[in-house]
Amino acid sequence: MASESLTTTGYIKHHLTHLTFGPHPDGGWGFAHSADEAREMGFWAIHVDTMLWSIILGVLFLWLFRKAAKRATSGTPGGLLNFIEWTVGFIDDNVRGSFSGENKLIAPLALTLFVWILLLNTMDLVPVDWLPYLTQLFGDYVLGVDPHHVYMKVVPTTDPNATFGMSIGVFLLTLYYSLKIKGPIGFASELTMQPFQANNILLKIFFIPINFFLEFIGLVSKPLSLSLRLFGNIFAGEMIFILIALLYSGGVFWALLGGFLQWGWAVFHILIVLLQAFIFMVLTVVYLDMAHQEH
């Protein structure tokens, strides 16, 4: 690949740089040619690779489930249908065990988050050079762009913009149902009347700002922990794959060792890929269940 001529630091930096589209200093819009140029684009920069793979995998998820739904019959299900029925049943059992309210949105939301995040995380198991190499070939031979300026991060969940986007969506749903179920006064009381309580009116007034401070931190920490947990675990796994890939340039012995390490880490990382999708889904259901509970 073209990045073979890079230094070790350059190789790692190349793999950690997004294909970024945004405004240039001259006022025009275009793709960034370096990590520094991508940072200078600021808030309006778009990580095209994150958007591209998120949409592709989202469409794949919808297509697979629609295909299975159209094939559903009363007879013995095939492999795909059997797997999807098991997935739906697994999510339904978890929602029933974690959500005590009545809301028809929760189960489909949990299914969507679990399967979509699982697909996004699974991209981490694709060898780190394959898709970036194909992207560089496309940029070099089709677009006539220097391949060193073509970037491609193929794991959307290693981008905090993606994980924060999902967690903020969950957070907004939590606020919406908290206000809908408890009402503005009930939700405000929940934030100001606990954990410290008192019968004396003066103490109640004294505890209001303290309670609000503590509860507000707990409220805001939910989307932060939800997004950073997913991002941190998948990003760390991707970094290890990149470091292992560096061994392939060190000769036959290091290449064989790299292949062994890559296989071992991939097997272990399957658990992380599944677990992080499951944790995100379960915490979403728990947060929404808390929003539906009236104290």
What residues does 21 pair with on adjacent strands?
31, 46
Is 71 annotated in the active site?
no
CA 192 to chain centre: 32
Is 225 annotated in the active site?
yes
Rounded-to-integer distance, Cα 86 and Cα 204, Å = 51
Type of residue at 102: E
8 A C-beta contact, residue 31 and residue 17? no
CA 11 to chain centre: 24
Query: Catalytic pick from 103, 161, 189, 229?
Result: 229
* Number of Cα atoms under 13 Å in the Cβ half of residue 155: 29
Distance between start and end Cα atoms, the chain: 60
- Give SS3 for 198: coil
By CB atoms closer than 10 A (0-12, 13-18, 19+), residue 177 is buried
Rounded-to-integer distance, Cα 43 and Cα 103, Å = 36
Is 229 annotated in the active site?
yes
Rounded-to-integer distance, Cα 207 and Cα 64, Å = 53
Rounded-to-integer distance, Cα 207 and Cα 124, Å = 48
Q: Which two tokens stand for residue 171?
A: 């957070």
8 A C-beta contact, residue 103 and residue 110? no
Query: Catalytic pick from 82, 221, 225, 249?
Result: 225
Strand order in the sheet with 20-23: 29-31, 20-23, 46-47
* Residues classed as catalytic: 225, 229, 233
